[in-house]
A and B are shown apart, each in its own frame.
Chain A
Amino acid sequence: MAQALVVGLVIGGIYSLFALGIVLIYTGSGVLNFAQAELGTFTLFVAQILVVEHHLPYAVGAAASIALALAIGVTFERLAVWPLLNAPRVTVAVATLALLALAVALEITLFGPVGRNLPPPITGHSVNVIGVFVSPNQIASLVLVALVAGGLAAFFRYTDFGLSVVAAAQDQEALRFLGIPLARASMFTWGLAAVLSALAALLIQPDIGVISPGAYSGIFIRALSAALIGGLGSMRGAFLGGVIVGVGEAAIRHATVGSSLTGLPELCIFAAVVLTLVFRPQGVFGSR
């Protein structure tokens, strides 16, 4: 059981990164970004091609995929989000659906429908930590997620620019008449969300294995569930929600292994989302 909890914590941390991207964009631009997870898949393909086909070091592939995600996020913000600043939010949400469809179509066209494999960056034996086996990849993932969470928390709190990004989520007009360029905050939000997606995809890939078009749609559902449970308006909530979903899923899977209840983890996630929305619609950490 302890083993399952550790696995759940690692996966949950990665869900948190996806969920944080969803929360950032929801608070900053008022829309659900349906392409949040697929963007990570798309950039993962690029990393796979660079590492496996072009024999470049894993770090180069990872850096390239993150840089590509940043470029896509910022470009999408400039082309589709910023011009729709005063449009109904559902219009922007549909634009993210278009981005999702475009990403899947491009994946099939450019990379083919057949799944690809990317060997994990760190190989080596698992370490026994008080009776629980933790692989080097899992340790690296936990450390990275903690670093990202801590780094972003400090950035949003202690830098003026970070604070302005948080403020933009509360009142865009006020930002403008205080002399703070709103466009920069908006570009940053979409760029950061895209980078988080690419990073999370790289981290979760060893657990999923095969990379194929649309493979991460299930992860989007989990990340969205995490964001809804934690609160769509709360960054802390995104992290908490991610861990709840990850650990809950792993624990239930562990308890039902070998039985016929294979869909129970997913069912429980949806039940948790529904219960949250009924009894605390703003999420565990959200404010009304």
Chain B
Amino acid sequence: MSPPPTGEVVVEAREVVAGFGANTVLHGVNLSVERGACVGIFGLNGAGKSVTMKCLAGLVPVRTGTIELFGQDVTAEPPEARVPRGVAYLPQARQLFPRLTVEQNLRLGGYVMRRHDKARYASIVDDVYSRFPRLAERRTQLAGSMSGGEQAMLAIGRALASDPQILLIDEPSAGLAPAVMDDVLAMLLQLRAEGLTILLVEQNISFGFRLVERAAILQRGLVVYEGDVAHLDTARVAELLGVGRLLSKQLSASTARTTTATKPRRTPKKKVT
């Protein structure tokens, strides 16, 4: 359904080491994403999924190793310099501006483009509104006063407002009701079909596997698998995640699409990444 990847590598991480203070989270991550591909990064809490994304977005500094975007070394570039290259980052917490309206949030999403091409922004924001008619209805409403699902849409809309070539999206399913999750999935599948390069982090394996064609599985700051999802079954995934047989059983037992495979039921939900 999506155009086949062209073979051009648009994101390339080589031996990336990163962390916070004395705590090293990534121990040499290698990852490459081709243009038009839809790749998911999976792993347990603390495996380094979100940190990998933040390194790619420029929000967490890389200690050693390199990051290339579109063939250019951007390792030392701050996040604001990566946006004009065509990167849009969508954090797990969404980080909308709660006391600004829908319209103002979108305007800030298109800030870089608006500086030199307001007409193009106008057509892009029209496109966003046609994808999310709900946002069009609520353009003067404050982002913080909207429902979780609407905020998820606004976050995607704000990322699209910069007309990106790569979408880095961290746990789009987090905290969403199942029905809303389906909407978000449909939207992301649509973007994938249009040829947008998507790199996704997910805890919710079943959600992620319905979207991506390739997976990178992280275990304790290292990529232990990179390849097509078609070659993976639940037992293999559980093994790669490092959760062993216990979860493998849970995985195959569960059919509900909201199951978060990486999290045994007993442990309280706590995000480390």
Q: Once the chains are docked, how many angstroms separate the CA of A173 from the CA of B108?
A: 13
Q: Are A166 and B100 in contact (CB under 8 A)?
A: yes
Which residues of A137-177 have CB atoms within 8 Å of chain B's CB atoms? 160, 163-164, 166-167, 170-171, 173-177
Report the interface size class on chain B.
Answer: 20 to 34
Chain B interfacial positions (CB closer than 8 Å to A) = 57-59, 78-84, 89, 91, 95-100, 104, 107-109, 111-112, 114-115, 158, 162
Contacts known (A171-B95, A287-B99); A179 close to B84, Cβ less than 8 A = yes
Known: A163-B100, A164-B111, A177-B80. 20 other contacts (CB 8 A): A160-B107, A160-B108, A160-B114, A163-B107, A166-B100, A167-B97, A167-B104, A170-B97, A170-B99, A174-B91, A174-B95, A176-B78, A177-B83, A178-B83, A178-B162, A179-B83, A179-B84, A180-B108, A180-B112, A181-B80
Contacts known (A167-B100, A177-B89); A160 close to B83, Cβ less than 8 A = no
- A28 smallest CB distance to B (angstroms): 13
CB-nearest residue of chain B relative to A171?
A: B95
What secondary structure prevails in chain B residues at the interface with A? helix
The 6 closest A-B pairs by CB, nearest first: A179-B83, A174-B95, A179-B112, A177-B89, A176-B79, A170-B97
- Which residues of A sit under 8 angstroms from B95, Cβ to Cβ? 171, 173-174, 177
Contacts known (A178-B108, A179-B79); A160 close to B100, Cβ less than 8 A = no
- Which residues of A sit under 8 angstroms from B111, Cβ to Cβ? 160, 164, 178-180
Q: Give a binary string over A169-195; 1 marks a CB under 8 Å from any B CB, 0 the rest.
A: 011011111111110000000000000
Contacts known (A160-B114, A173-B59); A178 close to B99, Cβ less than 8 A = no
Q: Once the chains are docked, how many angstroms separate the CA of A163 from the CA of B115?
A: 13
Chain A interfacial positions (CB closer than 8 Å to B) = 160, 163-164, 166-167, 170-171, 173-182, 287
- B110 smallest CB distance to A (angstroms): 9
CB-nearest residue of chain A relative to B94?
A: A174
Q: Are B97 and A171 in contact (CB under 8 A)?
A: yes
- A180 smallest CB distance to B (angstroms): 5
CB-nearest residue of chain A relative to B54?
A: A177
Q: Once the chains are docked, how many angstroms separate the CA of A176 from the CA of B83?
A: 9
- B143 smallest CB distance to A (angstroms): 9
Q: Are B100 and A179 in contact (CB under 8 A)?
A: no
Residue contacts A-B, CB under 8 angstroms, 8 given: A163-B104, A167-B97, A171-B95, A171-B96, A174-B95, A176-B78, A176-B80, A179-B84
CB-nearest residue of chain A relative to B109?
A: A178
- B224 smallest CB distance to A (angstroms): 28
- Which residues of B sit under 8 angstroms from A178, Cβ to Cβ? 83, 108-109, 111-112, 158, 162
- Which residues of B sit under 8 angstroms from A181, Cβ to Cβ? 80
Q: Once the chains are docked, how many angstroms separate the CA of A160 from the CA of B89?
A: 20
- Which residues of A sit under 8 angstroms from B99, Cβ to Cβ? 170, 287
- Which residues of B sit under 8 angstroms from A164, Cβ to Cβ? 108, 111
Q: Once the chains are docked, how many angstroms separate the CA of A170 from the CA of B93?
A: 14
- Which residues of A sit under 8 angstroms from B162, Cβ to Cβ? 178-179
- B167 smallest CB distance to A (angstroms): 12
- B113 smallest CB distance to A (angstroms): 9
Q: Are A167 and B108 in contact (CB under 8 A)?
A: yes
Q: Could you say which of B81, B82, B108 has the most chain A C-beta atoms within 10 Å of its C-beta?
A: B108
- B264 smallest CB distance to A (angstroms): 31
- Which residues of B sit under 8 angstroms from A163, Cβ to Cβ? 100, 104, 107-108
CB-nearest residue of chain A relative to B105?
A: A167
Q: Are A179 and B97 in contact (CB under 8 A)?
A: no
Q: Once the chains are docked, how many angstroms separate the CA of A48 from the CA of B99?
A: 42
Q: Are B80 and A180 in contact (CB under 8 A)?
A: yes
CB-nearest residue of chain B relative to A166?
A: B100
Q: Are A176 and B109 in contact (CB under 8 A)?
A: no
- Which residues of A sit under 8 angstroms from B115, Cβ to Cβ? 160
Q: Once the chains are docked, how many angstroms separate the CA of A163 from the CA of B81?
A: 20
Q: Once the chains are docked, how many angstroms separate the CA of A16 from the CA of B130?
A: 43
- Which residues of B sit under 8 angstroms from A170, Cβ to Cβ? 97-100
- Which residues of B sit under 8 angstroms from A176, Cβ to Cβ? 58-59, 78-80
CB-nearest residue of chain A relative to B99?
A: A170
- B33 smallest CB distance to A (angstroms): 18
Q: Once the chains are docked, how many angstroms separate the CA of A160 from the CA of B57?
A: 23
- Which residues of A sit under 8 angstroms from B81, Cβ to Cβ? 179
Q: Which of B79, B96, B100 contacts A177 (CB 8 A)?
A: B79
- Which residues of A sit under 8 angstroms from B114, Cβ to Cβ? 160
Q: Once the chains are docked, how many angstroms separate the CA of A163 from the CA of B121?
A: 16
CB-nearest residue of chain B relative to A167?
A: B97
Q: Once the chains are docked, how many angstroms separate the CA of A255 from the CA of B45?
A: 66
- A121 smallest CB distance to B (angstroms): 38
Q: Once the chains are docked, how many angstroms separate the CA of A40 from the CA of B44?
A: 55
Q: Once the chains are docked, how many angstroms separate the CA of A74 from the CA of B144?
A: 32
Q: Once the chains are docked, how many angstroms separate the CA of A170 from the CA of B144?
A: 11
CB-nearest residue of chain A relative to B85?
A: A179
Q: Once the chains are docked, how many angstroms separate the CA of A180 from the CA of B57?
A: 13
Q: Once the chains are docked, how many angstroms separate the CA of A134 from the CA of B257?
A: 72
- A213 smallest CB distance to B (angstroms): 39
Q: Once the chains are docked, how many angstroms separate the CA of A161 from the CA of B65?
A: 35
